[in-house]
Chain A
Amino acid sequence: MQWLNVILQGVLIGGLYAMFAAGLSLIFGVMRLVNIAHGDLIVLAAYVSLVATQTFGMDPLTSLLLVVPVMALIGYGLQRGLLNRTLGDDLLPPLLVTFGLSIIIQNGLLELFTADSRKLQAGAIEIQTFQLVENLWIGALPLIQFAVAVAVIGGLQLLFYRTALGRALRATSDDQAVAQLMGLDTRHVFAVAMALSLAVIAIAGVFLAVRANFDPAIGPARLIFAFEAVIIGGLGSMWGTLAGGIILGVSQAIGAQIDPGWQLLAGHIVFLAILAVRPQGLFPKVSG
């Protein structure tokens, strides 16, 4: 029973990892950009939520109403103002610019908020649990987070495959020049994609803030989790990313159960193993 519990916890946190990964996957799919600052943006969202809860006295989940639009706007501006200039055939500019961005965000947050560890309080819902079967408990908050993650991924799938915006995003990713011929301003399309990605990051960031302690330096680790989830699941598939997140979460949970110091290592080892044995991921849609 204990192991079942461990696996269950792993599955639930996998949902959060999948949310980390969804934004990364989206951007790579639309414009072949990997945002090294992705993890730091998640942390930024957590801090925005912190400011919102402190200034307006809202609870974290309500702060989503503020954090999501703010982050989406930041995403639009970031893409339009900075990242659009890095797109092209050369690999170095987007990589180095987003790396520079990562350093800027980390140190900016450090200056503004110090290195102190923070956590947001969500109230009673944090300790509420349900009993599924005998000896198997599930926390309300992790369950909600998992449900939201599934909803977000499902929502993104719907957006991509059943709306005009999704069509525009897919067309632009297929052939930028011809998309222009269809009347699509690709600068705007890319910026909308980034805004979407940051909206998802915002949700992930708020959940992160409620679930665990955060400080300006934890961004890179989130990027790595997101990246591992995407690679394990396979490029180009949103549901694959969900599966990847779950596998990562479960690996870490099992590792932690064996020895607390092995939590992160277990995840990395599973990632490397999958990279060795099945580099295209478990459910790939496109080739890397």
Chain B
Amino acid sequence: MPDGPLLKITAVDAFYGDFQALFGVSLSVDAGQVVAVIGANGAGKSTLLKCIAGLMHPSRGEILFENTATTNTPAFEALKLGIALVPEGRRLFQSLTVEENLLIGGQSRRPGPWTLARVYELFPVLAERRNLPAPALSGGQQQMAAIGRALMSNPRLLLCDEISLGLAPIVVRDIYARLPQITAEGLSLVIVEQDIVQALRAATNVYCLQEGRVALHGAARDLSREKISAAYFGV
């Protein structure tokens, strides 16, 4: 077991061209933890996940994963180190079938407990639809496929970007109900959510972003509704 947190982000600034999206953000995730990152639209949550996953790079600050600096690691290498992202909006490969999408997730051949069979066990509805083209699935099913695809790479850290977006509450509850099965073997999660209720229920720790800055953080059970509202809306 490595010393220190699994993921440690220190004072990260991130830009889109001239627009600054993150201001000195710091965050840490211990092994086995579920960390929720909440905040309003445009608060910088997705940007943070993209930096961790390697889709973009911070211009200042440091990202350490298992004590290795991954600040400038490109996405395809970050995956090989054990960081997987379930992107916002699912983004399944449109011309691939469900099963092919899952197989692509596993193409890096990282060792671990997650196999095609195991993913089908977790999400049986995917097994029924394995040979259908990805666009033929409902929103909730696509979200399950996207999660399954990320799991196939046997990550140590799974990043979930707004998995409740556009889904009916009952579907969201169904997906969140399976999270414990995902974290059972010690997989750590960072969940970005606009649905605060679900996020708080699932998480051990919470970070609240407001306009690119960390406005509040702490253990989920320690934070009251009032504190979170204040941090969320910047009141």
Contacts and interface: CB of A to CB of B under 8 A. Distances in A.
Q: Do chains A and B touch in the complex (CB under 8 A)?
A: yes
Contact of B96 (A167, A184, A185): A167
B79 interface: yes
Nearest to B80: A183
Contacts of B79: 181-183
A171 interface: yes
Nearest to B94: A174
Interface residues of B, number: 24
A65 interface: no
B108 A182 contact: yes
Contact of A167 (B74, B91, B103): B103
A170 to B, nearest CB: 5
B149 A182 contact: yes
A178 interface: yes
Interface in B136-183: 149, 153
Interface in B53-69: 53-55
B75 to A, nearest CB: 4
Given A181-B55, A182-B79, A171 B96 contact: yes
Nearest to A166: B100
A23 to B, nearest CB: 20
Contacts of B93: 170-171, 174-175, 178-179
Interface string B65-99: 00000000011100110001101000101111000
B8 to A, nearest CB: 21
Contacts of A185: 74, 76
Contacts of B39: none
Contact of B85 (A168, A174, A181, A186): A181
A117 interface: no
B196 interface: no
Contacts of B85: 181
Interface in A159-179: 164, 167-168, 170-171, 173-175, 177-179
Contact of A174 (B95, B103, B153): B95
A164 B103 contact: yes
B104 interface: yes
Contacts, number: 65
Interface size class of A (residues with CB under 8 A): 10 to 19
Interface string B105-117: 1011000000000
Contacts of B54: 180
A184 B108 CA distance: 8
Nearest to B105: A182
Contacts of A174: 93-96
A168, A171, A182: most-surrounded residue (chain B CB, <10 A): A182
A167 B76 contact: no
B26 to A, nearest CB: 24
Given A167-B107, A168-B104, A183 B96 contact: no
A183 B103 contact: no
Nearest to A29: B95
B76 A180 contact: yes
A183 B107 contact: yes
Contacts of A177: 55, 75, 87
Contacts of B104: 167-168, 171, 179, 182, 184
A174 B96 CA distance: 9
Contacts of A181: 53, 55, 75-76, 79, 84-85, 87
B91 A175 contact: yes
A183 B53 CA distance: 11
A98 B80 CA distance: 34
Contacts of B95: 170, 173-174
23 contacts: A164-B103, A167-B104, A170-B93, A170-B95, A171-B96, A174-B93, A177-B75, A177-B87, A178-B91, A180-B55, A180-B75, A180-B76, A181-B53, A181-B55, A181-B76, A181-B87, A182-B107, A183-B80, A183-B108, A184-B104, A185-B74, A185-B76, A186-B76
Interface of A: 164, 167-168, 170-171, 173-175, 177-186
Given A171-B96, A174-B93, A182-B104, 20 more contacts: A167-B103, A167-B107, A170-B96, A173-B95, A174-B95, A178-B91, A179-B93, A179-B104, A180-B54, A180-B75, A180-B76, A181-B76, A181-B84, A181-B85, A182-B76, A182-B105, A182-B149, A182-B153, A184-B76, A185-B76
